Amino acid sequence: MSKPINGKKIAILATDGYEQVELTDPKKNLEKAGATVEVISIKKGEIKGWNHTDWGKSVKVDHLVNEVEPADYDALVLPGGQINPDKLRTDKNAVAFIKEFVETGKPVAAICHGPWGLVEADVVKGKTVTSWPSIHTDLKNAGANWVDKEVVQDGNLITSRKPEDIPAFSNQLIETLAKAS
């Protein structure tokens, strides 16, 4: 039996300060399901993760965000951590990529503080989403309906709250990609 998302290509957009498990675990889960996963960033080389209370491991950057197009990928993942999405939302290329990706209708999965990128791209108005609790006001102010659930899908947006939600978050994205095949 073939894997459900063989041939799918997924982008993870991140920079220094991403919550380590929110990048590494979805990446591993997507690859296990048959996808090719690339890390795209606003800086070349490697980006350093944040592991709960201190700096963690680094991952290799495959491409700069301004070198790729949403058409190159089947889905986009936005990991959280406080530092990573805060840096990304101040980068015009990252914000433009997120906005264009959402507009394609392909899945965009954001976890923890990752939805800050969706706020900055102005794509949450009228959508039901979840996130780390401290950014719920930002999402509401951007016109979203915020709920406290493990995983929420509204159209092509998939959102989750925290590292403990990663299994449900990954499964929702994999199921959505498998249905699109």
Catalytic-labelled residue, pool 52, 63, 113, 136: 113
Residue 115: partners with Cβ closer than 8 Å, 6 or more residues away: 78, 85, 124, 129, 131, 135, 139, 159
Q: Is 136 a catalytic residue?
A: no
Q: What angle do CA 114, 24, 149 make, to 5 degrees?
A: 45
Length of the chain: 181
Token pair listed for 139: 């999402």
Is-catalytic flag, 112?
Answer: yes
Q: Coil, strand, or helix at residue 70?
A: helix
Q: Which of 84, 87, 101, 85 lies closest to 11, judged by CA?
A: 101
Cα–Cα–Cα angle for 36, 37, 40, rounded to 5 degrees: 140
DSSP 3-state assignment of 81? coil
Check 52, 63, 112, 136 and give the catalytic one.
112
Residue from 127, 136, 126 nearest 108 by CA:
127
Backbone Cα Rg of the chain = 14
Q: Just list the catalytic residues.
A: 112-113
